[in-house]
Structure 1
Amino acid sequence: MKIKLLHEIDIVRQLGFDLNKLFYKHSASGITIREYSISIVNRLLELSEDCIESLERGRMITASMTARGLLETAGTFIDFIDKMIRARNANDKEKFRNTLRKHFFASREFETELGIKSPHVADGIRFLDKHMPEASDIYNVLCEAVHPNWAGTGGLIMHNSRDSPIFMRSYFAICRSYDSLAATDKVSRSSFIGPLRPDMLLGW
């Protein structure tokens, strides 16, 4: 299983390399989109690598936390890509730039200054369902492990057995969360990177 997970990590690492090679000529927003995309890739890499380390150390709670972070990051980024493409196709420059600001400065701290509501991770997870089967179900299992309820306390702490149903369920969800890396790569390459030119990131 570790080999499969490492393969998924390599996919998104290559995406980061390819993003670094992209140009953003004649695009005022291109550099911001490019840097934001690269930061998302780096976040996915850190989460996915730390998740494997937690699994190897038998730390199912922290593994579930990082796996949940993978889904949230991938979902909100894929949602971001979709909104940017729609705005570009509709020739709506204001929506295009507002979407970029909304995601780049995603925080309640900036909502008043920007006058734009930050994206919610739940929306990202629902959007991820379109590109990764059962993403919401997997996310719910991981949330159960992360929250201090039965799964996150008694299920995984008091009964920390690899043969227990709660352990197996959480382990399966953690491994499935890595499917979000391939989904991120596929959506990025098919609709976001180079829709006009293969060497240019979408911008305006």
Structure 2
Amino acid sequence: MARTATLHGKRVRPRLSNDQKEERRARQMKLADDIAGARRAYAQEARDIAQNHGRSLNWTRVQLLLKSQNLCNCRCINSWNAFISSKLREANAGRDRGDRVKLTQFMARNKDDLLVTYKNLTPTQQEAYNTEVQVARDTKVRVVHSNPKAVSHTVTAAFANMDREVTLLFSLTCSHLDYNVSGLPCARKLV
């Protein structure tokens, strides 16, 4: 899309249509799904290698240079947090964005009722809340943002290397050519 200038030199892009938004969202989701699938496959392969050869998962992960959270989830699921988020979702069901109850307000109003209800939960009900959170974690699309400064340095270095290579090639192969005022090669006049 072409950029357009507005007042005060601020550049903006024209708004995307709904079809364009859907197309971009679909492409993003497909890319994220493919990446997540590859990560899961590599994580499972590392687990299989560790199990087959009697090595620890950490050792295998270091050998494969796969240090990701997909192999070892350090954060445990808290059934209290899952219970509270579920109850908050129920309280906000059917409400518009601006009318939803915030977590702090919800906890202040319903603290005693929530504590009593949570204490009466059976272990299977708590496990159901934990499973719900685990499913949500597995289906969540993780987007990794690149570091723009690092990308800029990489691109600058690549162009500097290309410039050196071109200069070297010109010096080796174009010794029979003369350079005009602009620095571009032109053929020598044969007299």
TM-score by length of 2: 0.22
Larger-Rg structure? 2
Higher relative contact order (CA 8 A, sep 6+): 1
Whichever structure has more strand as a proportion of its residues is 2
Name the one with the larger helix percent: 1
